[in-house]
Structure 1
């Protein structure tokens, strides 16, 4: 097992395995969105480094749309004792386009994009954002994270802070 990764037992053999070939620990599965998630707690990485770490493992930082995925992750993190006492935030797969990092938002408002290329749907995800967020404080909030001390609500954050992160990959039932 890789140090710093939190694993959850699952009964399906169709989510990828980590560690030794005999390991029976792997991802947590959301069968509704057919997604396997992996929460990485150590080492903490910047947003760009966490994005690359997920990609290098044939995953991506988690995309929390459609809203059912966001509900699953929020419920999972809020109810799993492994995360009680965590501080800071969890990196997820939304950022502003890098070309406009550290600038003010366009007149049309926030311009976050998921790592899959889709724009964040603010109407559909409004209930997940923390109060008065996103706010692009001091034009430095370039990525989205889940705040541990705010019930894992979404907040726009600076990209250079190191934090834990959540990777995902597709779950293929029956394989």
Structure 2
């Protein structure tokens, strides 16, 4: 059932482009640490090459992905077909965080539409591409993207977001530091 690919093929790129939602998974090295799995939307995912991807990371309640990447770099992206033929796509690799002001920031940031609450860009260097059947994934029809996070960030304003980051985004739930805490 599972198929392995050397890279993100043209057909898989087309599949990714049609998805309204993707998931990001990371984990700390500690056996007692918490695995993090986050859903993402709002047209924030980009394919940079056949083995490199990035997503625009917006301010959230935690910053687990960034903390885990700083500790060990492991990352998995997952896409599920909720419409059309069943398919699950996983992209495995090593990732890292790019903060505003970093040398890569401008080149990456221009690939995205500006959104309020931008915190960082997560880049993944993909070393394994795998599909599976997805026949148990239910069919859903998208109604649209929620605008709650965008409105929340607009209401916070720039200083409010920086204050929030200090309170909620400098350390993971397991106590790991995040790159934001080094600014």
TM-score over 0.5 for the pair: no
- Give the TM-score category using the shorter length: under 0.3
Q: RCO higher in 1 or 2 (8 Å CA, sep ≥ 6)?
A: 1
With the length of structure 2 as denominator, give the TM-score of the two structures: 0.27
